[in-house]
Amino acid sequence: MSTGIVIAIVVIAAIIFGLIVVLTTSRSSEVRGAGALSRETRSRNSKANISDAAPSGRDVEAQAVVRSTAIVKAAPVEVAPWVAPDEEALGVSRRMFFNRATVTLLSVSVGSFGASLVGFLWKGADGGFGSKINAGKVDDVVQLIRQNKGFLYLSEARAWVTEYPKDAIGKGKAVYGGQAPVFSGMQAGIVALYQKCPHLGCRVPECKSSQWFECPCHGSQYNRVGEKKGGPAPRGMDRFGVSVANGVLTIDTGAVFAGPSIGVNTTGQEAEGPHCVGGGEH
């Protein structure tokens, strides 16, 4: 092969190679690799005003420097002073309500009980039932008993006051001698009988026609000095101690003495007229 032919072949090859390089370069600038955006995407981005231009490494570094070194000073915040909450504004919880209600009710109950107790004790000290009661001069008391046909009721003492016959003192001592305060009153000619029936507690009235006490509840009957004569009562009428000092009669309602047993009849007094309750003995 001649030198001229070889040179011609090399020139042609160089031309072909040059063409290939030119064509390949122009194609790669158009496609831009696998990560390039399509034309449609670039069109939407342009409509949405989104740039497909990726930030350069310098931009990223610049931003990183800004983030790491920039000092942002916080705006000063004004701290409000602490104020204790208003309990009324907070309101009352259900538990607090029940606690307060319980304490209030308990206080009222204890206060009422205390007031009642003080009132009771005050009354006792002041001369009401449960204390020693001044009934007045004994002669006046006897006078009143006779004016009321054998019976005198003293509401303050809740008691009936009657005369005890002097000729029965001997028998009376045998029965009532053990109840000194009661017997001392009998020696002064007086008995003070508790108005409460020893059967079931009814108030026992006098019966002026029979001159007995006759209970309207179940018909128990007692003579004028409270000794049982009939009915379901378990004993005679209960009584109080009596004392006479300087002619003044005092009834001590602070203690109740049990009435005499069934069958006791120191005065021998029988019914002196029609009964007020039931038949009884006459």
Residues of the shown chain interacting with ligand FES in the complex, contacts defined by CB under 6 A: 197, 199-200, 202, 215, 217-220, 231-233
CA-CA distance, 112 to 104, in Å (whole number)? 12
Query: What's the rounded Cα separation, in Å, for the pair 236 and 216?
Result: 16
Q: What are phi and psi of 81, to 5 degrees?
A: -65, 145
Per DSSP, 120 falls in state H
Residue whose CB is less far from ligand FES, 128 or 219: 219
By beta-carbon proximity to ligand FES, the closer residue of 244 and 275 is 275
Compare residues 10 and 256 and give the one whose CB is closer to ligand FES. 256
Q: Which is nearer to ligand FES, 168 or 202 (CB)?
A: 202
**CB of residue 202 vs ligand FES: minimum separation in angstroms?**
4
Least Cβ distance, residue 197 to ligand FES (angstroms): 3
CA distance 32 to 96: 78
Q: In whole angstroms, how close is the CB of 158 to ligand FES at the nearest point? A: 15
Angstrom distances, CA of residue 80 to CA of 23, 25, 85, 117, 158 = 75, 71, 14, 56, 76
Q: Minimum distance between the CB of residue 216 and ligand FES, rounded to whole angstroms?
A: 8
Q: What strands, in cross-sheet order, belong to the sheet with 190-194?
A: 132-137, 248-257, 239-245, 190-194, 159-163, 152-154
Least distance from C-beta 220 to ligand FES, angstroms? 3
Nearer to ligand FES, 165 or 232 (CB): 232
Per-residue tokens: 212? 């007995």
Q: Give the H or E element holding residue 242.
A: strand 239-245
